[in-house]
Copies of this chain bind each other. A is one copy, B any other.
Amino acid sequence: MSYTLPEFLAHAIAMEQEAADRYLELADMMEAHHNDAVSTVFRDMCRYSEMHRDSIRERVGAIELPKLRSWEYRWRTPPEVGGEEGFDYLMEPYHALRYARENETRAEQFYRSVAVQAQDAELRRLAKEFADEEKEHVAALDKWIANTPRPSSTWQEDPDPLQPRGGSTLPAG
Q: Residue of B at shortest CB range from A68?
A: B87
A22 at the interface (CB under 8 A from B): yes
A44 at the interface (CB under 8 A from B): no
Residue from the list B25, B69, B86 in contact with A29, Cβ < 8 A: B69
A88 touching B71 by the CB < 8 A rule? no
A168 at the interface (CB under 8 A from B): no
Q: Residue of B at shortest CB range from A113?
A: B86
Interface size on A, residues (CB 8 A): 25
Using Cβ atoms and an 8 Å threshold, which residues of chain B touch A106?
82
Using Cβ atoms and an 8 Å threshold, which residues of chain B touch A74?
74, 77
Residue from the list B21, B72, B77 in contact with A87, Cβ < 8 A: B72
Using Cβ atoms and an 8 Å threshold, which residues of chain B touch A109?
84
Q: Which residues of A does B touch, CB under 8 Å?
A: 1, 11, 21-22, 25, 29, 69-74, 76-78, 81-82, 84, 86-88, 106, 109-110, 113
Given A21-B70, A71-B78, A74-B74, 4 other A-B residues pairs in contact with their CB atoms under 8 A: A25-B69, A72-B81, A82-B106, A86-B113
